[in-house]
Structure 1
Amino acid sequence: MIALIGLNHKTAPLAVREKLFAGCQEESDLPVRLTAVCGIREAMFLSTCNRIEILTRIDGQEETLYKLRDFLAASGGLTPEEARDCLYLYCDENAVRHLFRVAASLDSLVMGETQILGQVKDAYRRALEKNSTGAVLNRLLHRAFRTAKRVRSETAIAVNPVSVSFAAVTLAKKIFGSLTGKEVLVIGAGEMAELTGMHLVANGISGIIIANRSQAQASVLAEKFHGRAVSLEALREALTEADIVISSTGASSYIVSADLIRQVHHQRKNRLLFLIDIAVPRDIDPQAGAVENVYLYNIDNLQDIVDENMNARKKEALKAEAIVEEEVKNYINWVKELDAVPTIVLLRNKVEEIVRLELVKAGSWMKDMNETERQKVEILINSIVNKLLHNPVTVLKEESSEFKSADIVALTRQLFRLDE
């Protein structure tokens, strides 16, 4: 059985996502620990700012599903109520469909965004390094990547650059009308910060400051956007200058405290300051939003902008969903045919063994044949065997793809006494 359990921005508030994210980040060997749990054969762990999920292949027992749920809840320190209300569980076809939709960005906060596919690939790479995946999940992940590629090439769902970072810049534009002449402070120098910088420059920002724990890393990004870099030690001065702050480090504790904002507030002489926190866990103390003339938005506040941008993509999403359904069916058929393969191999081996024994018995009258005649007899026998096996093998494959594999396989084994 393929099982997927997790939570995302739709099922869990930011505070719960932060808790689970923090707990699971400490578990560097999570996939290995998962495969050590009884009944869990393969596992992959996916963690992003908007979702935490565990993809597994397990023995088809309900008890294993409970173990999987309890494992994830315990890793993140979730209460029983949080686990019950926020975690979702998908099995077999529904799990495959969910994964394909995630990889194709159909389940993202911002549908059509490009980051999630890279995040799924990174999760798969880590699982491969830990040897926690096998034939079934390996095939599943490659089909997920194929599905995502088809969605991008066969639909226009990602024509316009829409992501959380893009939504943050869109929010900044809504606030000021134009970003021309505005100074923006970006805290962080990772992928999200780089995407944010790209969108800011594309929207005519006048000045950009990159603040990061590593000033060298900040300098590389600042040079790319013709801005300037500062270390986190110089954050107070940068906050005094900025009109907009977009933070995306995901540090374990607040980078911007409420006390720091209060101190900066006096130096800014009541100028408006807009803080946009797109990190999980949050970078900015929520109490900072209570300071006069300071307006704080977090990742959940971007939903309105996301909804607005999604309207243009709904038609393309329908095309994408059709691609997902096609790929889900193909994968499920492969899995079910995989269940029939051992029986097909046993059946062919048994028939070929019968032929071999009968040819040995016929050795006395075949010895008078020349080599050409003997080869013709063997070709004739093999042809008869292939014709006799054709229908049983075809039925095993076709019926397995129609969700009847267990009964058909069991009956075939009984009829031909394959287990003796």
Structure 2
Amino acid sequence: MHIMVVGLNYRTAPVEVRERFTFADRDLPEALKQLKQTKSIMECVIVATCNRTELYAVVDRPHLCGHYIRSFMEKWFKTPREDFTSDLYMHEDEKAIEHLFRVTSGLDSMVIGETQILGQVKDAFLLAQEQKTTGTLFNSIFKQSVTLAKKAHSDTAVGEAAVSVSYAAVELGKRIFGQFGGKTVMIVGAGKMSELTAKHLYSSGVKKVFVVNRTYDRAVQLADKFNGTPLDMKEAVARLHETDIVISSTGSDGYVLTREQVTAAMQKRKSRPLFMIDIAVPRDLDPAIASVENVFLYDIDDLEGIVESNMEQRRQEAAKIEVLIEAEVEAYRQWYKTLGVAPLIQALQTKAAAIHAETMDSLTNKLPDLGDRELKIIHKLTKSIVNQMMHDPILRVKEMAGEKHADQAMDMFVKLFALEEELERTAEKAEKSKPVIEKSSPADTLAKLGQGAIAAVTT
């Protein structure tokens, strides 16, 4: 069995392409059903967000299955594959697992360390489970990815530093005021950035908002979003002393607030600090305002400098998560190797049980006078001996499954316990209508049995 992911994201495809390959929530169950029914696909999960569409699958032939998955996309989205193939990426096996771990941990996101993707991957997995399109491999891997992401965010500071201009402005405000309860914000202009910053401040406890705009109707519209008060520029200057935080983003050619106006307002504020954010280019606020006592003035360069510093901090934390991911991929690798041991252990247990049953039958025939109580005691004791004899060999074969020369070690194990016939019978049963494996080495037989065992629980 192989693991594949085929997808496109913000790095490989522009938004006009991504928006054509989105799954509506209501359509996902049917999409999962159809993808699962696609030839050679044993398990599947679809992760669909605004920035990525990814189809994860457990397959038996990766190269052909890449073609089958693209055919599914072509049919589902009614788009010729030549229109989107160049935007796709495809990862197989451990690269696919590593990719999933990076996605869930927020390392593959547009904003490094964001946590929203964790919930989105978890929801995608739970839906796939609900639709019965997952099995042994994905039930293990997706749970492992969610656990890893939670650990990554709890054990590192990857999501703590603000990495947008609007959040950086809020972070600066917290340094000055500590908290925003009871503070008043004045928005000058109706730019998207100033509106977003005001939204963050409002959600952080700001209670009163003034909205200033050259077009008064626009000021009214924006004020309604924050239960605010619309003002013209003259009224804004008159009420500047009531304001704790000014966010300015207009298209003005000159300064909308001067040093003199701010100085006059500060005389009425009685030394209470004034926090001013100038997001406009060219600048709205006279740089000389910074020299006024108790006024804290920041422009777009200041904020972007903070963002870049915080992004570097997140990149450093992300490096710690990469180490965690490497360890988790290795843990999966070892777990997957032990899956192939299951048929061997089953064969050993079956053979031991048969020998034990045959011995008990012989004992009953040779000692017919034994009562039920005596036979029950003998059965229990002899069964205990068999289980104790098998305990260490089973433990060792699991250990050997993860070693470098696992195939040779398991081949020798089969020969030592003479399990060839039992493995052949198990293989014939698992394959059902397929022909009995002919002239296979024990290791080859075991490998086929392992694949059959995985296939049995993933279909």
* Normalised TM-score (structure 1): 0.64
User: Which one of the candidate residues 179, 187, 193 is aligned to 1:181?
Assistant: 187
Within-5 A mapping of 1:233-244 = none
**1:4-41 deviation per Cα after TM superposition (whole angstroms, max 9, x unaligned):** 11122222333332332379997662111110001111
Q: Which amino acid aligns with 2:15?
A: L
Within-5 A mapping of 1:15-414 = 15-21=16-22, 29-72=30-73, 75-76=76-77, 77=79, 79-80=81-82, 82-84=84-86, 86-162=87-163, 166=164, 180-182=186-188, 184=190, 197-198=199-200, 201-202=203-204, 206=209, 226=227, 309-368=310-369, 374=375, 377-402=378-403
Distance (whole Å) between structure 1 residues aligned to residue 358 and residue 196 of structure 2: 71
Change (3 A) 1:2 1:112: same
8 Å CA contact 1:44–1:124 kept in 2: the answer is yes
Change (3 A) 1:134 1:354: same
**1:166-196 deviation per Cα after TM superposition (whole angstroms, max 9, x unaligned):** 45666999xxxxx842355779xxxxx9999
Tell me, which stretches of 5 or more residues in structure 2 are unaligned?
172-184, 213-220, 230-246, 256-281, 283-303, 426-459
Distance (whole Å) between structure 1 residues aligned to residue 201 and residue 80 of structure 2: 36
Q: Percent of aligned pairs with the same residue?
A: 28
8 Å CA contact 2:170–2:200 kept in 1: the answer is no
1:120 aligned counterpart, secondary structure: helix
Distance (whole Å) between structure 1 residues aligned to residue 364 and residue 339 of structure 2: 38
Shift of 1:142: 1.4
Change (3 A) 1:315 1:243: closer
The structure with the largest alpha-carbon Rg is 2
Distance (whole Å) between structure 1 residues aligned to residue 408 and residue 307 of structure 2: 48
Please name the residue that 1:250 is paired with: none
**1:230-252 deviation per Cα after TM superposition (whole angstroms, max 9, x unaligned):** xxxxxxxxxxxx9879xxxxxxx
Distance (whole Å) between structure 1 residues aligned to residue 197 and residue 26 of structure 2: 23
**1:93-146 deviation per Cα after TM superposition (whole angstroms, max 9, x unaligned):** 222221111111111111111211111122223323322222321222211111
Please name the residue that 1:9 is paired with: 10
Tell me, which stretches of 5 or more residues in structure 1 are unaligned?
174-178, 188-192, 210-217, 229-241, 246-267, 273-292, 294-302
Q: Which amino acid aligns with 1:397?
A: K
1:30 aligned counterpart, secondary structure: helix
Q: Which amino acid aligns with 2:31?
A: L
**1:375-395 deviation per Cα after TM superposition (whole angstroms, max 9, x unaligned):** 664455334423442344224
Distance (whole Å) between structure 2 residues aligned to residue 349 and residue 70 of structure 1: 44
8 Å CA contact 1:207–1:227 kept in 2: the answer is yes
1:345 aligned counterpart, secondary structure: helix
Distance (whole Å) between structure 2 residues aligned to residue 403 and residue 196 of structure 1: 59
Shift of 1:151: 0.7
8 Å CA contact 2:4–2:93 kept in 1: the answer is yes
1:29 aligned counterpart, secondary structure: helix
Q: Which amino acid aligns with 2:150?
A: K
Task: State which drifts further: 383-392 or 342-351.
Answer: 383-392
* Normalised TM-score (structure 2): 0.59
8 Å CA contact 1:35–1:42 kept in 2: the answer is yes
Q: Which amino acid aligns with 1:351?
A: A
Change (3 A) 1:390 1:27: closer
Shift of 1:62: 2.8
Q: Which amino acid aligns with 1:322?
A: V
Distance (whole Å) between structure 2 residues aligned to residue 203 and residue 88 of structure 1: 43
**1:294-330 deviation per Cα after TM superposition (whole angstroms, max 9, x unaligned):** xxxxxxxxx9997654201233222222222222222
Change (3 A) 1:27 1:316: closer
Q: Which amino acid aligns with 1:37?
A: T
1:156 aligned counterpart, secondary structure: coil
